A = this chain, B = another copy of it.
Amino acid sequence: MSQAIHFGPQVELADKVKADLRKVRHPHYGRYLEEFAPGQVFVHPRGFTFLPAQMEAFARTYMQCNPLYLNQEFARASGFAGLVASPQMVFNVVLSLGVQNDSEKAIANLGYYDAQFLRPVYAQDTIRSLTKVVERKERGAGKPGIVTIRTLGVNQRDEVVLQYQRKIMVAGQGERPATTPLPRSAGGGAPAFPWVDDAAVELPEFPARLPPGLTGPNSYFEDFSVGEIIVHANGRTITDEHLALTYAVGNTHPLHFDRVFSSGLSGKMSGDPIVYGGLVFAWLEGLASRDVSDNAVWELGFTEGYHTQPSVAGDTVAALSRVLAVEDAPGALGAHCGVVTFQFVGVKNTSAGSALTRHGADLFVKENDKKDLGKEKIDDKIFEIERRLLIRKRR
């Protein structure tokens, strides 16, 4: 059903309405420290319909090499319903959808924890994002506090596709006007927030045979042994493209795309727009993907993720992986797949090989632990995380 409506011609009005400087509104987004209340649930705006060309574009932008994200025939032959959205894309989108409520006023992203990808996202799925405030830690007057939040990505069938926890550093409101209030919840109470500890992962049945030759020969489960360090050969120079890519995943924090804002800050974040951390993680993961994940059938998730230095346009990033654990997958799946946990480290403006030569084993000591261990922080280290992959056995 449609309607045909005449609105009449648009006539020029500006010079007929006096500009009144007493009626000025400054809508602001994000939340100041006082605006976070434990238990509160934010329903994030917009949502995001995943479309196949976008899914491929994301995988290619960060050079994710697993053909599940690039080759529809391979994805189907692997048991999936169609081309699979890279979990890294799902993470970037779900986090970004939440920035408007969670972190558009945040000073820093302190860490990612307990991220779990619970089911595939396919073309035509529409993902919404929800956040629950877990904890607000104040650290004294005038000091920014620390807020712990949990975020869910939910598809159009209300199934959770991703859950993770995040800590952010947020300043108090001070003299500043309050931010845009939350919409009232439909029923009045807090919206449902179906977080599940140790949630089940919904995966397809994996067939025994796959099209040959489309994945690397050296990245099967059997190729990884505990303690091994893998130096990923290529780096990637990040350009100004990152401003547009921040927009592309829907992240609304001006630190990443507004030079007037970023150069008005003081301290380490002042100057050129800082690359949104999710993009840095994505590039690093892509650089590693030929060596560790092109035979993965699933990204189980990650924890203990820290951006230890910011990156800006012009920086070249590179990555190293270290095998922390290898074990058979649970139950019958164990005959065909194993779980590999990697420590994953990013560096900048050096090759991964040179970074290893220069810093040795210290590259794999967490930056937050360095002080207690009497060690120096490593300036060219930008990221560290532990990630867990479900990887095909060679058989």
Contact = CB atoms under 8 A, between A and B. Distances in A.
A356 B260 contact: no
Contacts of A180: 216-218
Contacts of A25: 228-231, 291
B70 A124 contact: no
Nearest to A360: B21
A208 interface: no
Nearest to A46: B67
A198 interface: yes
Interface stretch (A31-39, A135-143, A145-153, A321-329): A321-329
Contacts of A29: 233, 290
A324 B13 contact: yes
Contacts of A212: 43, 183, 185-186
Contact of A215 (B45, B74, B203): B45
A310 interface: no
A10 interface: yes
A74 B353 CA distance: 48
Interface string A8-30: 11111111111111011111110
A366 B14 contact: yes
Q: Of residues A237, A248, A384, which shows the largest number of chain B Cβ atoms within 10 Å of its Cβ?
A: A237
A356 B20 CA distance: 12
Contact of A54 (B4, B53, B126): B53
Contacts of A291: 25, 27
Contacts of A116: 10
A247 B63 contact: yes
Contact of A227 (B20, B114, B325): B20
Interface in A82-117: 83, 100, 114, 116
B250 A237 contact: no
Nearest to A333: B5
A335 interface: no
A267 interface: no
Contacts of A3: 202-205, 333
Interface string A153-190: 00010000000000000000000000011111110000
24 contacts: A4-B203, A5-B201, A6-B330, A10-B341, A12-B303, A14-B364, A15-B365, A18-B227, A21-B356, A23-B225, A25-B291, A26-B233, A43-B214, A49-B73, A54-B57, A181-B218, A191-B213, A235-B258, A235-B260, A236-B247, A237-B243, A241-B241, A252-B290, A261-B351
